[in-house]
Amino acid sequence: MRPGVRYLLAPIMLAATAVGTAHGQSAQDVLQHMLDTYVERSQGVENYTLVQQVMGFESELYFEKEMMDGLPVFRLRQSKVGGRVISQPDADDMGWERMYQLMPELMQHAEYVGRADAQGFPVHVVAVRNLHEIDFSPLPESEQADFVPETMTLHVDADQWIVRRAELSGTMIAEGEQHDFTADVAMTDYREVGGMLHPFLVTVNVQGLAEAMGMDSEKMAELQQQLEAAKKQMEQMPEAQRKMMEDMMQQQMANLEQMLEGDGEGGMTIEVQAKELLVNSGPPEGE
């Protein structure tokens, strides 16, 4: 999983084929209100820089706003990982915000589920089904497996119109075999910075990842031994060499540790902690 775990946050949009509640609420009402609120909050934001930490791995991500089909979207233009700055002027990376581009399609696949509670906040629950027909997946691409999304369930704050929780289910295809895959994303510690309302902590729990990668108990035990051996070897290296190896392998080792600490069924929990959010400050200085 790439640094930042692809900013699993961003609001979601419209729906349709909605089932009304006793109060006449519908998926279309909820997500249209959510979209309108997002557009209003984005009016004064031209760019932002997000510094975040994932499993001890820090990255700096710079986004710029552009208008697409009358809607504001923020594209990744520059990233800094491990001291290396990467310019991405032609990047098509919008993470979850790609959903704004797909609004008409999402409208055709959404339905209102009802009211609930998420993290102590009242929320509307909206399900968007048959995501594979929309060509939308908020997860980063992987060379080891292909993810085919099926359903996304959104818990939308009834007062602030932000996503408090998102559940994603689908199929992971690896080496010709299909495996069930789910991701439960909790977005907490929302803070307002320069007009943006952003979650400073995103916790992602995934199930089915190890199974899709063919990681049975024997292979998991073997990986555990290899990981411990690699750590001991790094501890014995000269400081400069050790630091270089840590910079190169930190993320991969953290990913393995998370998987090995799972529940034996492919469980893996990832925390994305925002360290700093700068709005309208332009590209990071000197880069």
Q: What is the pLDDT of residues 118-139, one digit of tens each?
A: 999 999 999 999 888 887 766 6
Distance from CA of residue 138 to its chain's centroid?
6
Mean pLDDT of all residues in the chain?
A: 76
pLDDT bracket for residue 17 (50, 70, 90) = very low
pLDDT bracket for residue 18 (50, 70, 90) = very low
DSSP 267: -
What is the CB neighbour count within 10 angstroms for residue 206? 23
Q: Is pLDDT larger for residue 196 or for residue 238?
A: 196
Q: Cα torsion for 144, 99, 187, 246, to the nearest 10°?
A: 30
- What is the Cα–Cα distance from 277 to 65, expressed in whole angstroms? 15
As beta bridge partners, residue 269 has 205
For strand 121-128 and strand 268-279, is the pairing parallel, antiparallel, or unpaired? unpaired
Least confident among 5-14, 139-148, 159-168, 212-221: 5-14
Q: Count the alpha carbons within 13 Å of 91 in the hemisphere toward its beta carbon.
A: 20
Cβ(280)–Cβ(210) below 8 Å: no
Q: What tokens were used for 216? A: 């049975």
Contacts of residue 216, defined as CB under 8 A and 6 or more positions apart, other chains included, come to: none
Q: What tokens were used for 99? A: 């959903």
pTM of the model: 0.74
DSSP 97: G
At residue 104, the pLDDT reads: 72
CA–CA–CA angle 35, 165, 201 (5° rounding): 100
Q: What tokens were used for 94? A: 């919008």
Indicate the burial class of 50 (C-beta count within 10 angstroms; 0-12, 13-18, 19 or more): buried
Cβ(31)–Cβ(15) below 8 Å: yes
Closest CA to 4 of 69, 53, 47, 72: 53
pLDDT bracket for residue 148 (50, 70, 90) = confident
- What is the Cα–Cα distance from 39 to 49, expressed in whole angstroms? 19
- What is the Cα–Cα distance from 95 to 75, expressed in whole angstroms? 9
Q: Cα torsion for 239, 240, 243, 245, to the nearest 10°?
A: -110
